[in-house]
Amino acid sequence: MTAKPSLCRAALDSLNDHVSGPGWRDPRIGIVHLGIGNFHRAHEAVYTEEAMLAAGGDWGICGVTLQGDVAKRDALMAQDGLYSVVERGPEGVRVTVIRALKEVLAMPFDRARLVELLADGNVRIVSLTVTEKGYCRDTRTGDVDLDHTGIAHDLAHPEEPSTVPGILAAALRQRRNAGTPPFTVLSCDNLSHNGAALKQAVVSFARMLEPELADWIDAHVAFPSTMVDRIVPSTTDAEREAALRALHTHDAVPVPCEPFRQWVIEDRFPAGRPAWERAGAQLVDDVMPFELAKLRMLNGTHSTLAYLSMLAGFATIDEAITHPPLKALIHAMMTHEIAPTLDVPPSFDVLAYRDALLARYANAALKHRTAQIAMDGSQKIPPRLLATIEARLNAGQSIERLTLAVAAWLVFLRGQADDGTRYDISDPMAARLTANAPADPQQLVDTMLAIKEVFPPELANREVFRRALVDAVRLLQHGARQAIAIERD
């Protein structure tokens, strides 16, 4: 049997059925993206490629892994930055080769090249998907966390930064000193007010180094907020096999995703931007209504499904949502507890959005693992669930389903499903969260609510919340499936 070739730019002419549109012109690098995971490659990179096809421009992407992932860098660069997006939907599988990625770097090994690119005036956007923990924020104040080991290192060694605030502050200082206009910093993470949150972290870090730099960043650097949406699971051999069947070429790093995608962007780009609206992005003055709807409706229920499923034994989201009692719980949570907290434009049909989410969750072709969504709960629970609970309590409204979701996370932290199956806890606070997870519901709730980095004291001290949380943990002691099945008003 003849060995199949590997994906590379020299082979593109034979892949016309799997590239988007004619007239591709190889662009220069105009975007540096920190955190080049699957989501970026199935989302911003796709929008950017389609924008360049529609309107041109030098918006090639350099992706940066911040965890020293040399294997990912080498795999992508061995393919000249090419990779395939494997869309799995009810109508079948669609495989598209993406060309926008020009270069991949791995920190700290490629620090000199990253410094060079961030100083280059042709780079006009630095975007990020580093998850909430990558911002190194003190969640109580929003400023950079001075107790974070990476931040302490970067303050002591500002020329060798390792964290996002340190890297951005160093690059912006270099551009200011050289008289080069600053780049726009574009957060694409699931974080409320993500642009403002990132700006506060960077400015507060810079202030510890040089107050004048902090003032300059505050006055001259744009940090637009965004809302991103596309379900993008981890890559498995199934995606590699699908890419091979479609392309007759090996792709070591394909990305699976659903057909649906959405990107809402605050339109503040002083140095210019790709014509993302030509690729279907929404450019708006205020992202907040869209952001809250997605954060609470999609991300909140995704986390709910994940933690209840980890206890109940559902391995994937489609498996979980086809369990009738769990689907009914999620439907009621969105309808009665989440939707009333939203203030959306008249054109935004919240209940239609709910129905679309339920249909997306049921996509059996995607196999989105609940264990993947359950990661980093200490970072996700506050914006996805606690903020909604606080809004409900302030309005004097019930929180029963939302509280069950938080209780499921607390019980999940014990590391054992209802059937006795053990699993690992992947969380930046894992050691602290799992060190003492008592069996007694009251003790468990008291222990966890004392963790101020997760639970704001104002919420933790509300007796109605504490009681509801203890009651929910008690329900879960008898099994997640039984707790799910209880009818609620």
Same structural domain, 356 and 481: yes
Of 259, 284, 309, which one is at a domain's C-terminal end? 284
Same structural domain, 166 and 253: yes
Of 247, 268, 284, which one is at a domain's C-terminal end? 284
Confidence of residue 3 (pLDDT cuts 50, 70, 90): low
Residue 263: φ, ψ to 5°: -145, 115
Positive/negative CA dihedral, 215, 158, 115, 74? negative
Same structural domain, 328 and 179: no
Contact (CB, 8 A) for 157 and 150? no
Given a cut of 50, is residue 397 above it in pLDDT? yes
Same structural domain, 261 and 359: no
pTM: 0.85
User: Long-range pairs for 477-480 at CB < 8 Å and ≥24 separation?
Assistant: 477/411, 477/441, 479/311, 479/312, 479/418, 480/308, 480/311, 480/312, 480/408, 480/411, 480/418
Q: 3-state DSSP call for residue 19?
A: strand
Which tokens belong to 259?
A: 């057909």
* Residue 4 domain-assigned (yes or no): no
Specify the range with the lowest mean pLDDT, choosing from 8-17, 169-178, 261-270, 424-433: 8-17
Same structural domain, 292 and 244: no
* Residue 393 domain-assigned (yes or no): yes
Domain extent for 264: 9-284
Same structural domain, 341 and 465: yes
Q: What is the DSSP string of 137-184?
A: B-TTTSSB-TT-HHHHHHHH-TTS--SHHHHHHHHHHHHHHHTPPPPE
Residue count (the chain):
489
Same structural domain, 356 and 451: yes
91 by Cβ neighbours in 10 Å (0-12 / 13-18 / 19+) ranks as exposed
Same structural domain, 244 and 326: no
Tally the domains of the chain.
2
* Residue 166 domain-assigned (yes or no): yes
Confidence of residue 2 (pLDDT cuts 50, 70, 90): low
* Residue 1 domain-assigned (yes or no): no
Of 284, 306, 332, which one is at a domain's C-terminal end? 284
Same structural domain, 226 and 272: yes
Contact (CB, 8 A) for 157 and 97? no
Average pLDDT of the segment spanning 254-258: 96
Confidence of residue 1 (pLDDT cuts 50, 70, 90): very low
* Residue 235 domain-assigned (yes or no): yes
Given a cut of 70, is residue 134 above it in pLDDT? yes
Contacts of 485 (CB under 8 A, 6+ apart): 325
* Residue 453 domain-assigned (yes or no): yes
Distances (CA, A) of 243 to 1, 103, 350: 18, 21, 36
* Residue 2 domain-assigned (yes or no): no
336 by Cβ neighbours in 10 Å (0-12 / 13-18 / 19+) ranks as middle
Same structural domain, 312 and 267: no
The pLDDT tens digits for 43-99 are 999 999 999 999 999 999 999 999 889 999 999 999 999 999 999 998 899 999 999
Tokens 């070429």, residue located: 249
Same structural domain, 377 and 437: yes
* Residue 3 domain-assigned (yes or no): no
- Which comes out higher in pLDDT, residue 265 or 436? 265
Same structural domain, 94 and 76: yes
CATH of the domain at 24: 3.40.50.720
